[in-house]
Chains A and B, each alone.
Chain A
């Protein structure tokens, strides 16, 4: 017993001493990631220079990152920061960079090319930006040449907007008992299909607002087993266009992880709709859409805001069909740039490789959101 107590005492004292040492004399890496200092490695290789640059971005050291660039004379620090985070409020406005990957493409003694992927932690998950970066040797050090994309700015102007808007007045306490409330929008599931994937069962479908008023919609699905007992219930979450204007059709996708199709005897679908005050603007054009074949199968294109107001966040949902017009897959991407009027912004929606071969056509819809309310 006495030996055990002595050992415990030694361990406690050692722990306290180590904590004190770590607090008073922290390691360089720990100090860097706690924001107290920045980590400076020697930039004697392209990889080290790029790693230093990425570390500065990750700690929001945009000024130091800008100062380290070889081509900083070509643009201002503000333009550099706007290139990374956007000049107008958007999905990246309240985010931080969570990761930085690099992949060498080409290198000589004096120049190198890398493909870098910047990972941003956003409210809707990981947003990835890819850039092809050129590095040059300057004496004994390497410097990054950042391929800046200057974000267009809107000149001060007044844009008249003649948009449609719906407001809702519900029944109140003064109404007669028998008087009816405003009717919920009539929506209908026009297509539904279960698909077995490696990660589980996926329910795909399309929902139509067949009414003349806008609807806030969502879809839940309940799987029933062979004894007609509920197996699982899941919702579409954000894999749907929630605001559905009259006669608009949205795809939806519901995931059931760890469920296989042979466990399921029936599926009960529960479309939900409610009236919502809404605006018919902004109108978003999707142009130059192309299905890019495997490998890296994707649907790419550009979204263009045809209205006068800025759409801060855009969510692009792609619906994919086979030659017979059957639903094959639903995929999405959040555009992490604000949509300025008449300014195309590219999107690229990943398509699973095994499904890409079956896809013959597609339909794309875009939901937009404004900071301070739904657009």
Chain B
């Protein structure tokens, strides 16, 4: 009996090799989907799947298909399937992102003047339901809608998980809705389009007791948008008595001020770097 024991152990050790064990996995699996792993051979074994932040261990019987339930593997990336304690070679496979389900939409700036070429930028990162970045090429559409102005639409081919676009701000002021869309998934940002510098600043004057009442015409930018209230308009009066200056904020579209009535005074107006007309008062 003694000489037979080493022979038996040798046969047992060689048995798995003799049985021709192997593992077959689909080369690509969509994140979160169910799939089946095929094995050959016979007897019990342990299946180990290791990948991006996930590991799976399962006792199996060789030769029987192994079903991986939906939602088990959801992190996209490269995985390795190993049959522990067998001669089967480890097999690698990829888990690819699922359909677009969510996007991160970065729109800049949140506020800008009207009519600025390529002033608005939007960048989109598209993710599946399991927050995997979708790197496959895809079409992303961007819509910029300002009330009372034509809608701008741009379609961009996204690659490596991102797509970006630069668009012009509308000539009309107002809150623009900037929408990025991939398939049925969309995200909206609001861009404030504000009037630009005042254009053709004009003042008029009339007597008001011992003073002059000076006021601007309604102040608009070069696209015809009313300049917002609070914008500072500077009135300057030069006379023999010296110089008088008042910084007046626009209220209801106009700036109005009472200044001393000196005969021969020159009154001018400015806002920021924009100069308006000049009035000569009296003699």
Residues of A within 8 A of B (CB): 162, 164, 166, 176-183, 190, 208-214, 245-249, 280-281, 283-290, 301, 306, 362-365
Chain A residues whose CB sits within 8 angstroms of the CB of B40 once the complex forms = none
Q: Are A180 and B108 in contact (CB under 8 A)?
A: yes
Tell me the smallest distance from the CB of A82 to a CB of chain B, in Å.
Answer: 28
Q: Are B197 and A283 in contact (CB under 8 A)?
A: no
| Most chain B CB inside 10 Å of its own CB: which residue of A162, A208, A213 | A213
Show 9 residue pairs from A and B whose CB-CB distance is below 8 angstroms, ordered by the A residue.
Answer: A164-B229, A179-B189, A180-B110, A210-B197, A212-B194, A247-B198, A284-B246, A286-B244, A301-B242
Q: Are A289 and B247 in contact (CB under 8 A)?
A: no
Asked whether B195 is an interface residue with its Cβ less than 8 Å from the other chain, the reply is yes
Name the residue of chain B whose CB is nearest to the CB of A365: B247
Q: Are A280 and B243 in contact (CB under 8 A)?
A: no
Name the residue of chain A whose CB is nearest to the CB of B271: A247
Name the residue of chain A whose CB is nearest to the CB of B249: A280
Q: Are B111 and A182 in contact (CB under 8 A)?
A: yes
Q: How far is the CA of A162 from the CA of B229 in the complex (A)?
A: 12
Asked whether B106 is an interface residue with its Cβ less than 8 Å from the other chain, the reply is yes
Q: Which of A182, A208, A209 contacts B110 (CB under 8 A)? A: A182
Chain B residues whose CB sits within 8 angstroms of the CB of A190 once the complex forms = 273
Q: How far is the CA of A203 from the CA of B230 in the complex (A)?
A: 30
Q: Are A246 and B108 in contact (CB under 8 A)?
A: no
Asked whether B47 is an interface residue with its Cβ less than 8 Å from the other chain, the reply is no
Name the residue of chain A whose CB is nearest to the CB of B107: A180
Q: Is the interface of B mostly helix, strand, loop or mixed?
A: strand
Q: Are A212 and B246 in contact (CB under 8 A)?
A: no
Chain A residues whose CB sits within 8 angstroms of the CB of B248 once the complex forms = 283
Q: Are A248 and B232 in contact (CB under 8 A)?
A: yes
Given A164-B229, A164-B249, A212-B194, also A289-B242 (CB < 8 A): yes
Asked whether B139 is an interface residue with its Cβ less than 8 Å from the other chain, the reply is no
Name the residue of chain A whose CB is nearest to the CB of B255: A283
Q: Are B195 and A212 in contact (CB under 8 A)?
A: yes
The count of chain B contact residues (Cβ–Cβ below 8 Å) is 39
Chain B residues whose CB sits within 8 angstroms of the CB of A180 once the complex forms = 106-110, 189
Asked whether B282 is an interface residue with its Cβ less than 8 Å from the other chain, the reply is no
Q: How far is the CA of A121 from the CA of B186 in the complex (A)?
A: 63
Chain A residues whose CB sits within 8 angstroms of the CB of B245 once the complex forms = 285-286, 289, 363-364
Tell me the smallest distance from the CB of A209 to a CB of chain B, in Å.
Answer: 8
Q: Are A286 and B246 in contact (CB under 8 A)?
A: yes
Chain B residues whose CB sits within 8 angstroms of the CB of A181 once the complex forms = 110
| Most chain A CB inside 10 Å of its own CB: which residue of B108, B187, B231 | B231
The 7 closest A-B pairs by CB, nearest first: A247-B272, A280-B249, A287-B244, A178-B104, A248-B232, A289-B243, A290-B242
Chain B residues whose CB sits within 8 angstroms of the CB of A247 once the complex forms = 197-198, 231-233, 271-272
Q: Which of A176, A177, A246, A281 contacts B228 (CB under 8 A)? A: A246
Q: Which of A164, A183, A249 contacts B230 (CB under 8 A)? A: A164
- A interface footprint on B210-245 (CB within 8 Å = 1, 0 otherwise): 000000000000000001111111000000011111
* Given A179-B189, A190-B273, A214-B230, 19 more pairs with CB closer than 8 A: A180-B189, A181-B110, A183-B112, A208-B273, A210-B197, A211-B111, A212-B195, A245-B231, A246-B228, A247-B233, A248-B247, A283-B249, A285-B244, A285-B245, A288-B241, A288-B242, A288-B243, A289-B243, A306-B246
Asked whether B260 is an interface residue with its Cβ less than 8 Å from the other chain, the reply is yes
| Most chain B CB inside 10 Å of its own CB: which residue of A176, A212, A364 | A212
B246-282, CB < 8 A from A? 246-249, 251, 257, 259-260, 271-273
Chain B residues whose CB sits within 8 angstroms of the CB of A176 once the complex forms = 104
Q: How far is the CA of A117 from the CA of B195 in the complex (A)?
A: 51
